[in-house]
Amino acid sequence: MDRAGMAPTTDGGEAVLAYAILEATRPFRLPAIRGPLDADLETREVTGLRVVYSRLALRPATPDLAQLRAFYEVIERLHARHDILPLRWGQYFSDPQALTRALAADAELYLKRLTRLVGATEMGIRFLPTDGPATPEAVPRHSPESRGRAFLEQRRARYGLEADGQAQRRRVEEFCRNAFDGLFRELKGETAQTQGTDSQAIILVSFLIPRPLVERFRRTYAELRPFEGGRTLLTGPWPPFNFAA
């Protein structure tokens, strides 16, 4: 939530874990699924909003893979049938009353965000590097007199790489705007690093698209020519996490 204080993510004590926010005026039925730690799903209506949550007997400090899967599966099941404002793991409250107060405090903001997401889902494209990782240059030993110069050279090189990455992301975003023109409402790009010793930058582009256009979006993607020789990976549809804020 935005202004509500989060409960500390430490072990011990009961907690309320929120999954998603919906408009209370729309038809709704809870999915036949259980949350993390085999918790029941519950709903509560506040100021035109409906929130789906579970009461956990124990608040885990660090969720394991099974708990995360259970949490996000609830959100995906909700998104399959309803327009939702999805929440990420960790939206804890001490009790349902605290959740009610948090919703009431920002009800107008959540309703505005839900209006933005009506009838929409999220698709994504990952632009993956094809070249091998850049080989780091050996760092020479500098005399005390030249260490300052070496530091400035390293800073210039670092900022040059960052500027190149930003320019590449802008080119990818423009490519996507042109290629998928008319098939999305909003687009967001970001740069991330692959994990491992050969870490490389990848560009992630997220699209907020009308649900009826998912198949057209996929067909358009299948017909794309490679962007600057790179590889791409299509993901989704997903709950619109990247457009929930």
- pLDDT value for 130: 62
Of 17, 176, 13, which Cα lies nearest the Cα of 92?
A: 17
pLDDT digits (tens, 9 = 90+) for 205-225: 999 999 999 999 999 999 987
240: CB partners within 8 A, 6+ apart? 79, 86, 117, 120, 121, 122, 208
pLDDT tens per residue across span 159-178: 444 555 678 889 999 999 99
The SS3 of residue 26 is coil
Domain 120-243 is of which CATH architecture?
Answer: 2-Layer Sandwich (3.30)
- CB-based contact 53:111 (threshold 8 Å): no
Higher pLDDT, 81 or 141: 81
DSSP-assigned beta bridge partners for residue 129: none
In the chain, % of residues over pLDDT 90: 62
pLDDT at position 85, please? 97
- pLDDT confidence of 154, banded at 50, 70, 90? very low
Residue 191 phi, psi (nearest 5): -110, 135
Rounded distance between C-alpha atoms, residue 229 and residue 128, angstroms: 10
pTM of whole model > 0.85?
Answer: no
Write out pLDDT tens, residues 73-119. 999 999 999 999 999 998 889 999 999 999 999 999 999 999 999 99
Q: Who wins on pLDDT, 76 or 153?
A: 76
pLDDT at position 56, please? 92
Q: Does residue 231 or residue 115 have the better pLDDT?
A: 115
**pLDDT score of 229:** 60
CB atoms under 10 Å from CB of 37, counted, come to: 17
CB of 148 within 8 A of CB of 244?
no
pLDDT at residue 61 is higher than 80: no
- Write out pLDDT tens, residues 1-23: 554 433 434 445 689 999 999 99
Least confident stretch, 35-39, 131-135, 142-146: 131-135
Mean pLDDT value across the chain: 82
Every domain of the chain with CATH number 3.30.70 lies at 120-243
Give the three-class secondary structure for 10: coil
- At residue 163, the pLDDT reads 54
pLDDT value of position 66: 93
SS3 226: coil
Query: 186, exposed or middle or buried, with CB in 10 Å at 0-12, 13-18, 19+?
Result: middle
Between 165 and 151, name the one with better pLDDT: 165
What is the spatial distance between Cα 55 and Cα 75, in angstroms, rounded to a whole number?
16
Q: Where are the beta strands (DSSP E) in 8-134?
A: 15-23, 42-46, 49-56, 85-86, 92-93, 120-128
